[in-house]
Structure 1
Amino acid sequence: MLNDLFMTDALMEVVSDARRRANKHGERFNIFSILRVHRNEAETHSRFLHELLKPQGRHGEGGAYLQLFLEDVLGLQASGEDPYRVSRELATEEKRRVDIVIESPDAIVGIELKIDAADQQAQLHDYYQELEWRAGSEKQVVLAYLTLDGKRPSAMSLNGLHKEKVVCLSFADNVSLWLEACIEKSQHKPALAHAIQQYQQLIHNLTGKGGTMGDLVAGELNSDVERFKEALEVEKSLPKAKASVQELFWQELRAALEAQFGVTPSVYGGKSIAAISQDYYSKNRNNKHVGIKLPICSLESRNVYLYVNLYHAVHYGLRVEDESGTVVPSPDLREMARMAVGKGNAVADGHADWLACYYYNPAAGDDEKIINFDAFNSAAVGLLDPEVRRTLIADMVAHQAELAAKAKTLRSR
């Protein structure tokens, strides 16, 4: 499968040595990573940052960290005397939730965090409108878009909102430097300083910043022409190798679904499984969603399908198609379905055209099972192991069968 991808002994030696050096001071022993919550936006990153920013936070440092953030990261003048309120998951009129909001008599700041989640339709547009409405004409409005690398939000999320209305921040630089300042201010509380250091190391691990294995490998390659040439050959072969892993996943998943439901799933977004897998890495996707689907049942004269969809990460669930095969929102069926199957854990679960949408079975899984073929995360790499692949697909299909069975019970209601 991966015969186009070769690693010479010299390159293997470089990678192995870099791995050892990157863990010289125990950097890989990170409590967030060990507990497998390192990429959880809501329960890890949003909660931790909110706790640091809160003047009433358990750190006991009052508004010190908040003042550093406002002044050093956002460039806002912060007064230690002003009453600041810092909240999480602020509900908007559009039934969305702003991750973190900082409010004072003079300003209101909204922060949207992105680790793995994709942008949603009109998301930042709606957030800005909500902040503007709350500010009236009396407060400065700041909307920050915080990502690993500081990338700009999509036009879909802005939905006409001028890009200058959004401040782009990065975990790699802005948050990392702020955390360094927080650690410096916390030296009189060693346990607190160490906790912040653990989070800072997590950020370094996620962003590849500062003395990571990638930096060390790059340093070695930059000084050796032959090894650099070998690495270039590996780089050329990676898209094809990734496509072959993805193709194998789709093939085995389709076979497992056919065995479970007695129907062969059809491919959408491309002519075949081979095509969608190869095109995913060789062409500009332009927000293109691909995957496989199969019919489940008819509810209220509408056709309910099981979709397994890929944009960045693989997600699956129930959708409704009209007679032309177009996915259509069905608010009444969505409400019925969610009473039966529950709330999904995928970002797309918030979209009206999914009755319910999941990355994995929340009753038996964890976020380590999220297969991200865009970032090609550890779960995607794990698919190289046949036993891991079979187990993951079996778990996925079992949950999909459970969702389908619950959907069918709605016909009798």
Structure 2
Amino acid sequence: MDNHEIENLLKTVCERRKKHMAQETPSYNILAAIGEERDEAHIHSKIIYFLLDRTYDEDGENDFLKFFLREIQIPEQYIGGPWRVCREQAFEGGRIDFVMESEKFCAAIEMKIDAGDGERQLERYDMFCRKKGKAYRIYYLTLNGSAPDRQSVGGMDRQRLFLISFRKEILDWLQRCMDTAREGSYRYTFLKQYDAAVRHMTGWGDEGMDVKDLL
């Protein structure tokens, strides 16, 4: 390839990039702009908690928390009544990303984006929930529903373990929340931005510029 061909190729790539940047894609979100899309502890954990800890209807009927409980398939008989959401729940065996608890049910959620599992991590969470003396489930939240390390599960009751993902459950939950918000409102815009960040992070609905085809 001579210099003239290289120059034409770079010009084509530049033009393609400009067209791509002008498109409405999930890459156009605040978290991508500041390079924080994959920060599970300081970004995603806080945003999800922010949404779970709020009621957006005077009667509490369109509660984002209730939408989330149904999305992760908490049995319907447990959804009614008050729920408490705790982020980074500390206990003797470590720290759980989220614990959602009612009088009769406890749900523990471990979120993994890039980090690996700790030693017997989910087994320790199982022991924590079991001591509550109520119905419970352990949720393992990853980008695409990946399974945890075998050593992390250890000897826990595997029937209590449920795999959920940003790509399915989180995106479906955000869409359901957006359906109840007035389009153009701060609430809707907040949800839309986070939805775009999750889509971009998981590669869902984001068509990137395929430079390798040009090369």
Q: Shorter-normalised TM-score: what interval?
A: 0.7 to 0.9
Q: Is the 8 A contact 2:72 2:169 kept in 1?
A: yes
Check 1:16–1:209 CA distance in 2 against 1; reply closer, same or farther (3 A cut): farther
Check 1:167–1:80 CA distance in 2 against 1; reply closer, same or farther (3 A cut): closer
Q: d(CA) in 2 for partners of 1:78 and 1:19?
A: 52
- 4+ residue stretches of structure 1 with deviation over 4 A? 12-16, 78-81
Unaligned runs of 5+ in 2: 1-5
Q: Over residues 244-293 of structure 1, what are the superposed CA-to-partner deviations in whole Å (9 max), with x where a residue is unaligned? A: xxxxxxxxxxxxxxxxxxxxxxxxxxxxxxxxxxxxxxxxxxxxxxxxxx
Determine which of 144, 164, 171 is the counterpart of 2:139.
Answer: 144
Q: Over residues 135-162 of structure 1, what are the superposed CA-to-partner deviations in whole Å (9 max), with x where a residue is unaligned? A: x1xx210110000011000112112224
Check 1:165–1:172 CA distance in 2 against 1; reply closer, same or farther (3 A cut): same
Q: Over residues 57-79 of structure 1, what are the superposed CA-to-partner deviations in whole Å (9 max), with x where a residue is unaligned? A: 2x644461111111123243167
Secondary structure of the residue that 2:139 maps to in structure 1? Answer: strand
Q: Over residues 289-329 of structure 1, what are the superposed CA-to-partner deviations in whole Å (9 max), with x where a residue is unaligned? A: xxxxxxxxxxxxxxxxxxxxxxxxxxxxxxxxxxxxxxxxx
Check 1:102–1:26 CA distance in 2 against 1; reply closer, same or farther (3 A cut): same
Map of 1:391 onto structure 2: none
Determine which of 141, 150, 154 is the counterpart of 2:149.
Answer: 154
* Mapping for residues 184-333 of structure 1, pairs under 5 Å: 184-187=179-182, 190-213=185-208, 217=210
Q: Over residues 172-219 of structure 1, what are the superposed CA-to-partner deviations in whole Å (9 max), with x where a residue is unaligned? A: 111111111111111267111111111111111110001331xx74xx
Secondary structure of the residue that 1:160 maps to in structure 2? Answer: coil
Q: Is the 8 A contact 2:108 2:137 kept in 1?
A: yes
Map of 1:43 onto structure 2: 42
Map of 1:101 onto structure 2: 99
Q: Could you say which structure has the greater relative contact order, defined with CA pairs below 8 angstroms and 6 or more residues apart?
A: 2
Q: Over residues 10-38 of structure 1, what are the superposed CA-to-partner deviations in whole Å (9 max), with x where a residue is unaligned? A: 8x968974783475126433222223332
Paired residue type of 1:126: R
Q: Is the 8 A contact 1:22 1:212 kept in 2?
A: no
The answer as to 2:66 corresponding to 1:71 is: no
Q: Is the 8 A contact 1:147 1:169 kept in 2?
A: yes
Unaligned runs of 5+ in 1: 1-6, 222-226, 232-413
Number of aligned residue pairs: give it. 206
- TM-score (norm. length: structure 2): 0.82
Structure label with greater radius of gyration: 1
Q: d(CA) in 1 for partners of 2:79 and 2:159?
A: 28
- TM-score (norm. length: structure 1): 0.45
Secondary structure of the residue that 2:159 maps to in structure 1? Answer: helix
Secondary structure of the residue that 1:111 maps to in structure 2? Answer: strand
Check 1:77–1:125 CA distance in 2 against 1; reply closer, same or farther (3 A cut): same
Q: Is the 8 A contact 2:56 2:64 kept in 1?
A: no
Q: d(CA) in 2 for partners of 1:97 and 1:201?
A: 29
Q: Is the 8 A contact 2:139 2:164 kept in 1?
A: yes
Check 1:65–1:92 CA distance in 2 against 1; reply closer, same or farther (3 A cut): same
